[in-house]
Amino acid sequence: MDALRLSRSTYQLIERAVEALECIGRELERYNDRHERDNERTARRDVDRPDRDES
């Protein structure tokens, strides 16, 4: 493959874009982890307190 020569500004732009994507990935991981923990808590609470029909 031929070497690709980039200007400094192009390289910096790509570098910032990669950093931004990494940051977005970390935030998505945090969001998913939090959402998963909330779902587990809700499931445990539902098991601990089954619905009773007291008509």
- Quick check: is 25 in a domain? yes
* Residues 28, 23: Cα–Cα separation, whole Å: 9
CA angle 36, 40, 46 (to 5 degrees): 145
Q: How many domains does the chain have?
A: 1
- Quick check: is 2 in a domain? no
* Residues 29, 33: Cα–Cα separation, whole Å: 6
pLDDT at position 54: 54
For residue 30, the enclosing domain spans: 9-45
Which ranges of the chain have pLDDT less than 70? 1-2, 50-55
Q: pLDDT tens digits for 7-21?
A: 999 999 999 999 999
- Quick check: is 37 in a domain? yes
DSSP the chain: -------HHHHHHHHHHHHHHHHHHHHHHHHHHHHHHHHHHHHHHHHHS------
pLDDT at position 50: 65
- Quick check: is 53 in a domain? no
